[in-house]
Amino acid sequence: MIFRRKEHICLFYNVENLFDIHDHPDKQDSDFTPTGRLQWTAQCYEQKLKAIRDVVRNLSGKWKSPAFMGLCEVENKQVVKTFSMNLHSRIGIIKSFTKRAEILEAS
């Protein structure tokens, strides 16, 4: 029998306030709306997603693509899903909550 050692790369990335443009009453996100203090528009959101995606792709060019990716400072689950769909990759994304972690699979 031949056993092959599998290596997996895990990536943790503080994406620093990855918010969509919608005001959610249960979040303190009113600054991240088109009429908020930061005037956070769909174009700003898309540029931020692209910048983060470019970083992940550049890292993947140097090493294998990560098997798992942890993201910090993401507004909600929908933003994580949008990011994973934009990445065009089959990366499992781990999103940490206060006392538990949830694993989301990219489609």
In tens, the pLDDT along 44-71 reads 999 999 999 888 888 877 777 777 788 8
Q: Higher model confidence: residue 107 or residue 72?
A: 72
Query: Is the confidence at residue 3, as pLDDT, over 70?
Result: no
Strands (E) across 1-107 are located at 10-18, 68-74, 92-96, 101-105
The one-letter code for the residue type at 7 is: E
Res 95: pLDDT: 47
Query: For residue 99, what pLDDT band results from cuts at 50, 70 and 90?
Result: very low
Query: Is the confidence at residue 106, as pLDDT, over 70?
Result: no
pTM passes above 0.85: no
3-state secondary structure of 87: helix
Q: What angle do CA 67, 70, 73 make, to 5 degrees?
A: 155
- Cα distance from N-terminal residue to C-terminal residue, the chain: 34
In tens, the pLDDT along 7-58 reads 777 888 999 999 999 998 888 899 999 999 999 999 999 999 999 988 888 8
In tens, the pLDDT along 74-93 reads 998 888 888 887 776 545 44
Alpha helices in 1-107 (DSSP H): 42-62, 77-87
